[in-house]
Structures are given as C-alpha cells and as structure tokens.
Structure 1
C-alpha cells in the first residue's frame, strides 16, 4: 500500500484531476468498481488538484497533463513537494514526448492514455501504489522510435535493469530475472541515475528511452 493512508490494510485512496467533468466521472466509476480502491476527491484544475492533494493526502493522484491555468507538469511538482507520500500518474490524451518526459522528470510515477481499458487503469493505480513504474506500452514504444540513437553511457547490465524497470518489475524481481542480488540491482540503478542526471527509477527509464539507449 502507498504511504499516504498510513494503513497498509486500507484501500488505495485516489484523487482525480481533469478539467472535463465527464472524464472525471468516467474514471471515478471505473476505479470505484474495483475492490481495494476508493476515490476520495476530484479536481478540475491543476491549482485545485494541489489544494485537494494537500487536504486529502491521497495515495495516488491521477492528473491530466493539460488543463487551464497550472498544467499537469507544474501540478505534479507541487503535489510531490507538499504531499511526499503521494504518487502522481499522468493520464492524458496527448502523445507529445516532450510533455510526457517533462512530467516524469518532475517526479510523476508514469503515464497512462485516457483510452486505456478499465483493467489497465486499475492495474496502473495498483502498480503506482506499490511504488513501481507505470508506462503505457504504446507511448514507451513511441519514445523508442522517435529518438536519434546516441552512444550510451550505460553498461549492458544497466540497460537490462532499466528495461525490466520499464516492464514494472521490482528490484527483487529484477534480481531474480538477472540472477543477481537486490543490492546489485540497486547499485546498477544508482549508477544509471548518475550517468543520466536523474534521481529516481521512472525518470531514469524515461530519459534512457528519450535518448535511445534502450532500443
């Protein structure tokens, strides 16, 4: 369970932020139909999302990338600074790589397209609540295809680890997959962070994809 509830046995508490009420209601209905997830609030703008997040302390905020006023990138940064236990997942209709990358670099746990299925939405919330990376495969592939490949500073093993992070595996699962210890996985990740100039696993995967290192 994510940190925001303080109750590992309780439901995952979700805040929805989108400037279209119909979208919010649709997302809410899908999430409320899932066991172990409850929608604790809705916001219609980036500013309102920050206020609601501070007041409600959700585990997960599903945040539209483009809203009037404060956009999803700025709102992501503010929510994560003011509600450290919250995870932000960008939910967007847009596939512009630079905007998605900016959001992840601001600290978002990942991104999801609004056309995703109910199960994909639920899986994304549960994945983010476990502290793992949420990446929509079609958008990840778009990042792979659209970038010019440059020489990679990452070792072969570091690239392998980041590919598995991109698939949503935990450090322990990556260690099992690669027949190394969890501590070794963490070492590879820390080296990747330094080489890529990032501070977390999601941003590392996104930056490596953006620069063509995982193709």
Structure 2
C-alpha cells in the first residue's frame, strides 16, 4: 500500500524588509514539511491575506507599517483563530512578549536567531505548543510563571529521562523531533512528558519554560 504523505504546514510570511523576507523564504523552502502560501510587507495586507488564505502559521514582524504586529495578532485571534502567530522581532524586552501573549501570539523568535530555531518554532506551535527564543526565555517568562500557587514542589523527583524530555520540550522541540533525537517512540515521549508535567503540577508550556529557566536547563544550548 502506498503511504499517503503528511500534508505540509501552510506558512504565511509578513515583514516590511525585502531582504528579511528573502532570507526567511530561503531558510524555509528547504523544509519538506512546510509550504509558503503567501507574503506581505505591511500589517493591513498581512491581516487581509491571512484571513483569506487561512494558513496554519504566520511568521509576523512586530514592527510593520500600516498596522503593527500586536494589532494584527489581536485581530487574527478573532478572525482567524486557527492560525498560529509567531512574532519575529529585534526586541528583547519582556514587556513586548507579555503584550503579545495577551493578544494571542504563541511564538517569539529574535531576528538575530533566525535559523533552525524558526523552523523548530513553526513545527512546535503548529502542534499546539508555545515557542520562546532561548536567548530571551528567562526575561520573557519572569513574572508570568511561578506566581503564588503555581510554583513547582521543591521536593519533586524527576527521572533523568523525564528531565531530558521536559528540557527539550521547553526549548520548543515537538514530540516527533524529541522521539527522533532521543531514539524513542512518540508514545514514549508523550508518556515521559505527561508524567513529568504531572509531578511538577504544570498544565502549560509557559509554566514548564519558567521552571526550565529557574533550573538552568536552558543554559549552553
């Protein structure tokens, strides 16, 4: 029986700098699991075309003419809720991240980090995760997690495998990427992740990333 190939993730790109668009396009075209379905160079066009094309993921520059990334993200949350928004920016201030999370963004990638990180971010958010650029994870998460009643039990006992899986999950690796990297089945990865999250009492990746930062798991990556 001939195997049916998995459908490609449909990606829309929005940035007002042609050279940046060219660079992102060149980076993503080598990923057989991605298809670029459209591009825009201003916020209003990005909003209109995303609503029309309904991509799985939009990679959106924060500083766009006509309508900025925050406003585009806010509108897409209402008008195209299935589309996952990844913000591409030069800004490392956590205040930007907080605002974008509030309006519905699920990914935050620094322009200086655009490489395999962007591909990983696209696959991660498409699977329902949240992706934070490791370079800003500490600043971005500070104040958003481990608030009263949300901190992990200091006596929690995680196995080495659970730590390994949770650390990579915090970095934005999808379950499939984790399975390949650790030579495990996807089911085993899901089990280790669920068990570790249950021990920590966490219910979201935002909480997990905050814990990973506090534990030093994201250093030297």
* TM-score where L is the length of structure 1: 0.72
- Are positions 1:68 and 2:65 aligned together? yes
8 Å Cα contact 1:13/1:59 also seen in 2: yes
* CA drift at 1:169: 6.6
Give the number of aligned pairs.
189
Shift of 1:46: 1.6
Q: CA RMSD of the aligned region, Å?
A: 3.6
- Residue matched to 1:179: 195
| Cα distance, 1:57–1:205 mapped onto 2, change above 3 Å | same
Q: TM-score scaled to structure 2, two decimals? A: 0.70
1:85 aligns with 2:85: no
1:33 and 2:30 aligned: yes
Distance, in Å, in 1 between the alignment partners of 2:146 and 2:32 is 45
What does 1:1-215 correspond to in 2, within 5 Å?
9-143=6-140, 152-157=148-153, 166-168=170-172, 173=189, 176-177=192-193, 179=195, 184=198, 188-189=202-203, 201=204, 204-205=206-207, 215=214
For structure 1, the residue ranges without an aligned partner over 5 or more in a row are 1-6, 190-200
Deviations 1:159-200 (A, max 9, x none): 99xx866443779857524736x8x58x842xxxxxxxxxxx
- Bigger Rg over Cα: 2
2:109, 2:133 within 8 Å by CA — same for their partners in 1?
A: yes
